[in-house]
């Protein structure tokens, strides 16, 4: 992956999760909802196992997830971290706006 593609991917994941987190925070009035949901979304992005297998065949599913997490490249990790940073930034932004008196919905 070239450095340009990496930077654009990081920016897109930051903006995507910031936007989704901001909207969820406004609608559900829970400032950190996207930061809590993000690990589940990251697992769904990383793994190739169906979600139901985590309940029916949890030993193999978690072993496969561990192998996939360990085999992630540094670019993939940076992209996922930037998405998590976007989710955190959305929570911080909503907290600051509510503290300053803005009422969303």
Residue with tokens 């300053």: 100
Give mean pLDDT, residues 10-39.
88
Tally of domains within the chain: 1
Q: Is residue 93 part of a domain?
A: yes
Q: Is residue 27 part of a domain?
A: yes
Q: Is residue 80 part of a domain?
A: yes
Q: Is residue 105 part of a domain?
A: no
| Residue 5: C-alpha distances to residues 17, 80, 98 (Å) | 18, 14, 36
What's the half-sphere exposure (Cβ side, CA atoms, 13 Å) at 16?
A: 14
Res 78: pLDDT: 94
The pLDDT tens digits for 42-68 are 888 898 888 888 899 889 989 998 999
Q: Is the pLDDT of residue 105 over 60?
A: no
Give the domain range for residue 14: 3-99
Q: Is the pLDDT of residue 33 over 60?
A: yes
Q: Is residue 64 part of a domain?
A: yes
The pLDDT tens digits for 88-101 are 999 899 888 888 88
Q: Is residue 104 part of a domain?
A: no
Give mean pLDDT, residues 5-30.
91
Q: Is the pLDDT of residue 41 over 70?
A: yes
pTM, whole model, 2 decimals?
0.83
Least Cα distance to 63 among 82, 52, 47 occurs for 47
Q: Is residue 57 part of a domain?
A: yes
Q: Judge contact between 38 and 87, C-beta under 8 A.
A: yes
Q: Judge contact between 65 and 43, C-beta under 8 A.
A: yes
């Amino acid at each position: 992956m070239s450095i340009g593609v990496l930077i654009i991917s990081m920016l897109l994941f930051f903006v995507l999760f910031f936007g989704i987190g901001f909207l969820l925070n406004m609608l559900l009035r829970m400032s950190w909802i996207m930061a809590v949901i993000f690990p589940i979304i990251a697992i769904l992005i990383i793994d190739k196992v169906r979600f139901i297998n985590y309940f029916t065949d949890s030993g193999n599913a978690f072993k496969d997830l561990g192998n996939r997490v360990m085999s992630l490249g540094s670019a993939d990790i940076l992209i996922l971290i930037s998405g998590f940073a976007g989710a955190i930034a959305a929570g911080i932004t909503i907290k600051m706006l509510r503290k300053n008196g803005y009422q969303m919905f």
